[in-house]
Each structure stands twice: as C-alpha cells, then as structure tokens.
Amino acid sequence: MRLMLRSLVAAFLVLAALALAAPASAQPAPPQPTAVNPTALSVQERQLMEQLRAGTPGTGTTVHGRGTIPNTDSYVLIQPQGQAWRAFHQGAMHWVAGIAILGMLALLALFYLIRGTIRVEHGMSGLKILRFSSFERLIHWMVASCFILLGLSGLNVTVGKFLLLPLIGEDAFALTSQWAKYAHNYLAWPFMLGLAVMFLTWVGHNIPNRVDIEWIKQGGGMLANGAHPPARKFNAGQKGIFWAVMVGGAVLSLSGIYLVFPYTAGGVLALQFWNIVHGLAGVLLIAVILAHIYIGTLGMQGASEAMTTGDVDLNWAKEHHSLWVQEEAEKGKLHPHAVGQAAE
C-alpha cells in the first residue's frame, strides 16, 4: 500500500514538474522558417530574418533568437539601432573624420600661406629663460606620444580598411591592425595617467581671466603686424588647447574604458553609444592637436624649444608671454643679464 502511494506521489511530482515545464515549452516557439530549409546553403540570411521578423510583433523592435549561454545579449539577431550604428560608423563617421582632419590641415596650410611663420619681431636675444621643467616636458611628451599612437591606431579602425588596406595589402594590413589594436588598448593607460598629472601640474595656469579677454580681442598677436597682447604662462589660445585636451581626453578615457569593459553598465545600445562618442571625440581632438602641433613647430619661431630643451629666448617670451616674464623676474628666476632686458 505504502509502496503504491509512494510511486503515485512520485509520479505526481514528475507530472507536476513536467506540467510546470510545460508552460515554457507550451509558449509558442518563435515562428520557425518552416518554408525555408535552414540547412540549404543558399538560404539568404535576410530571408531567415524576414521570416523571424514576421513572427515578432511591431517592426523596429529587437529580434531575439534563442541561446543557452547566460549572456542573453548574444541572443540578439536583429537590432535596428545596430543598423543605425553601422550606417553612422561606416558613413557619417568618415565624413566627420574627413572634414575635421582634412579641413583643419587645409586651414593650417592656408594660414601658413597667408601669415607664414610668426617670427620674433625683435630677433633672438640669445638670453634664455626656463619655460618648462624636465618634469613638465616628460609629462607633455608622455601624453603627446601616447595620443599620437592612439590617434593613428584609432583612425585605423575607422578608415584603415579604405585608406591603408589598398596601399599595403591584406597581410600587412592585418598585421598592422593587430599591433595597432594592442597599442590602442595598452597606451590608453599611460595616456590617462599622463593626462591626470598634466591636469594637476598646469590647471593653476589655465584658469581663464581678464587678460585672456584682451588677448582674444587682439587676435592673440597671430594676425600680420598685430601687436602682441600681454599674457601669463599660458595665453588664451593655449588655455583653449589645455581644456580641449582635458575635456576631450576625459571623454575619450571614459568611453574608452566602457569599450574595454563592455556590458558593465548597459547592453548593446550603450556599447554603440559610447563607440560613437569615442570616435567623434577622437577625430575632433586630433583636429585640435594638429593646430597645436602646427603652432608648436612650423607656425611660430622659437616655440618648439619650450618643449625640447625647456629654455626659450627672452625676446620670444617677452613678445608672447610678457606678464609671465615679469612674474619670473620678480621670483628671481631670470639670468642676471636678462633682468634689465626683461623690463624693457
């Protein structure tokens, strides 16, 4: 009797379990492409998707397949935003990159043709004043070298297939892209560290003030035969570069960290959003840095020494950063020979 009862209860429990399982299996399976032989090699993916979509209420919604792994995001078969992302990434993004970067190069070439290299009007004095310490230069070149490699490897992801692949062929492109990816993933960290140290080192000199307004009003002495408006260590133009690097660098870092650790906060949509933000911030900052490199080399006589030896000519400093020279003189940081001249 007891045995019979036990087997009845056991049978009931099995049935109950099956019944519980039944609803899930009872749910209508997403429509299967019964009209299409899924093993036929010629089956068009689109045909399958259309069949699947036909079974999913409402167009424009995400179409899920089925899977067994915990990552349910991997079940996504059709994600309309994904098509919008791809259209942007392979369309508008190229235009934005082209206009920003080629546009800036064209502007700089035109400026150089019209204005030429901005010369030190009083000629070089031969006396030097220390502008950037070895620590400041180390941080600058750490950030600069990382950014240049990050910029090139990032551009390779955006336009490498269209610009570099036809030039160097598939094998070389595959190898270059592999190393570019390593560079991009690993140089991001020293870049972010350098950015933080650069911020702490220079933020005090980059707070906008009234001197900057006068500097902007006078076009910063960039225009032909323009007077050199007074400026402290950094003039308004350089403060603009500093804040562009800090804000652009922060956006690149945050979006980049999300791309390295995807799905930490949000699904596929967040990934596509941060990918677009990262790409746009990247090409815009590259354009800004092109202008910075121009003015730090070809565009201005005597500028590059500031970031190579750290010393600049006194006349250069007096013309471009007259208030800074006075501050340095007051701190007793000028060469004795330079003190008299600094006040002129």
Write out the two tokens for 42: 């010629």
**Residue 36 CB, nearest distance to ligand HEM (Å)?**
53
Size of the site for ligand HEM (CB under 6 A): 20
Task: State which residue, 151 or 160, has the beta carbon closest to ligand HEM.
Answer: 151
Q: Does 245 bind ligand HEM (CB under 6 A)?
A: yes
Task: State which residue, 269 or 288, has the beta carbon closest to ligand HEM.
Answer: 288
Q: Does 147 bind ligand HEM (CB under 6 A)?
A: yes
Q: Does 242 bind ligand HEM (CB under 6 A)?
A: yes
Q: 114-143 mask for ligand HEM (x: CB under 6 A)? A: -----------------x--------x--x
**Residue 51 CB, nearest distance to ligand HEM (Å)?**
50
Q: Does 148 bind ligand HEM (CB under 6 A)?
A: yes
Q: Does 297 bind ligand HEM (CB under 6 A)?
A: yes
Closest CA to 342 of 324, 332, 329: 329
DSSP string, 110-165: HHHHHH-SB--TT---S-EEE-S-HHHHHHHHHHHHHHHHHHHHHHHHHHHHHHTH
Segment contacting ligand HEM (CB under 6 A): 85-93, 94-102, 108-116, 233-241? Answer: 233-241
**How far is Cα 108 from Cα 89, in angstroms, rounded to an integer?**
27
Write out the two tokens for 60: 């424009």
Q: Does 303 bind ligand HEM (CB under 6 A)?
A: yes
**Residue 250 CB, nearest distance to ligand HEM (Å)?**
12
> With helix as H, strand as E and coil as C, how does 268-301 read?
HHHHHHHHHHHHHHHHHHHHHHHHHHHHHCCCEC
Look-up of token digits 């993004």: 93
Q: Does 144 bind ligand HEM (CB under 6 A)?
A: yes
Cβ atoms 251, 282 nearer than 8 A? no
Single out the residue of 234, 258, 274, 324 in contact with ligand HEM (rule: CB under 6 A).
234
Task: State which residue, 144 or 155, has the beta carbon closest to ligand HEM.
Answer: 144
Single out the residue of 97, 187, 306, 338 in contact with ligand HEM (rule: CB under 6 A).
306
Single out the residue of 56, 304, 326, 341 in contact with ligand HEM (rule: CB under 6 A).
304
Closest CA to 52 of 32, 36, 28: 32
**Residue 130 CB, nearest distance to ligand HEM (Å)?**
11
Task: State which residue, 241 or 259, has the beta carbon closest to ligand HEM.
Answer: 241
Cβ-proximal residues to 235 (8 Å cutoff; 6+ apart), any chain? 212, 215, 220, 229, 320, 321
**How far is Cα 90 from Cα 96, in angstroms, rounded to an integer?**
11
**How far is Cα 329 from Cα 138, in angstroms, rounded to an integer?**
25
**How far is Cα 301 from Cα 117, in angstroms, rounded to an integer?**
6
Task: State which residue, 214 or 305, has the beta carbon closest to ligand HEM.
Answer: 305
Q: Does 271 bind ligand HEM (CB under 6 A)?
A: no
Interface contacts to ligand HEM, rule CB under 6 A: 131, 140, 143-144, 147-148, 234, 238, 241-242, 245, 289, 292-293, 296-297, 303-304, 306-307
